[in-house]
Amino acid sequence: MNRTFALWLIAAMIGGIAVGLGCHEWLAPPQLASLTGGLGLVTTIFLRLIKMIIAPLVFSTLVAGIAHMEGAAAIGRIGGKTIAWFVFASLVSLTLGLVMVHLFQPGVGLALPNGGAAEVSSTLSLTEFVSHLVPRSIVEAMANNEILQIVVFSCFVGTAIAAAKERAAAVLALVEQIAQIMLRITGYVMLLAPFAVFAALASTVATQGAGILVTYAAFVGGFYVALGLLWLFLLSVALVIRRDNALLGAVRSPMLLAFSTASSEAAYPQLLEKLEALGLPRRIVSFVLPLGYSFNLDGSMMYCTFATLFIAQAYGIDLSIAQQVTLLLLLMVTSKGMAGVPRASLVVIAAALPYFHLPEAGLLLVLAVDHILDMGRSATNIVGNAVACVVVQAWEGRARETPKALAG
């Protein structure tokens, strides 16, 4: 299924580029405008489907994740150490993505028409931003896809479910079922991705010409360089802790599986087995990995920053330093609970764009090459979670050794 879908995506990319180049070369401007208008209908429907699933997907996955995390953290110090590493690794991933997209500037010079976006000159004050975090009505927040307000409400619900424990077991089970249903719906929506990729590429290439392909090459190349630096950081941490490179050999197989299927979840069982075979305690691995698959998707988080600022560059929209810091914090929060399934990052990006008045159509820019990027970030997610297990195991080992040393 995954291989067939990947072939369809590749065919859609090739077909879209070929049709776009032909139309750009041979069609008169009125005919070209009519064609791009028709292709725009396909992309508009796909964008609406993406927006349709944002609120229930974020709510259900975040509530389920927080409810389990709160309960797990209460059982001991492992939870706190795990979360501390997740926060640190998330900040490194997001910041590295921010730095690298400014360094490579893959979208600069594209100068796409900014028809669907408002000006970004009016920056929210701190007071307005904080007050905007709290929803007047969760129904209104979901109707308007106000992602931060949904996150705040989800945090309250998840914490309350965790505090209620057995009395809220039925509610937690229901939320988890809703999360599974929304993930399934996300999968259904993404089955339409080849059509959207074809329409987006054909329309963009027909309008911009062959020059857009250079921009895509810079975008993909810059992102993989950024992933390489993130790998270097993560594996260096593991090397310092373990003093050997056995971890890379252990995760090679699940990493290749995640890369080929563009899905972190596809490699979960194999990763669990390989880490235990490496000698990591089962109690650590079985605790850290499930949390990591919701809260520690390093490659996906880097992609969210990289892609969002690429869209801003492509439309010639300058974000201030304050707005970029806000973007990091927003993605830091909204990426938690992100599903480790193909193209789930698009949902997070789609939710972030309106907060900075970036055009929704910008999502179609990254959609065209998303599968190629998804393969790399899925493999990175595997490496990130494997390193998280190593770090937590090392911290836990030192904590156990200290009382013995004091007793001696």
What six digits make up the tokens of 317?
């929209």
| pLDDT value of residue 96 | 93
Q: Tell me which residues of the chain have a pLDDT lower than 70.
A: 1-3, 68-78, 114-129, 261, 266, 336-343, 398-408
Largest Cα–Cα separation, the chain: 86
> Tokens 């970030």 sit at which residue?
377
Distance CA(326)–CA(188), nearest Å, equals 32
Q: What is the DSSP string of 325-346?
A: HHHHHHHHHHTTT--SSTTTHH
> Tokens 């373990």 sit at which residue?
242
Residue 71: half-sphere exposure toward Cβ, Cα within 13 Å = 17
Say how many residues make up the chain: 408
Distance CA(337)–CA(157), nearest Å, equals 14
Residue 398 CB contacts under 8 Å (≥ 6 apart), including other chains: none
Q: Report CA-CA distances (Å) from 302 to 112, 191, 225, 365, 386.
A: 24, 24, 12, 17, 17
For residue 125, give the 3-state DSSP assignment.
coil
| pLDDT value of residue 120 | 42
| pLDDT value of residue 340 | 52
Q: What is the DSSP string of 85-116?
A: HHHHHHHHHHHHHHHHHHHH-TTTT-----TT
| pLDDT value of residue 66 | 73
Residues 289-307 have pLDDT tens digits of 877 877 788 888 899 899 9
Residue 94 CB contacts under 8 Å (≥ 6 apart), including other chains: 301, 302, 304, 305, 328, 331, 332
Is the pTM value of this prediction over 0.75?
no
* Inter-residue contact 348 to 304 (CB < 8 Å): yes
Residue 189 CB contacts under 8 Å (≥ 6 apart), including other chains: 46, 49, 50, 52, 53
| pLDDT value of residue 406 | 34
Please name the fold of domain 2-400: Proton glutamate symport protein (1.10.3860)
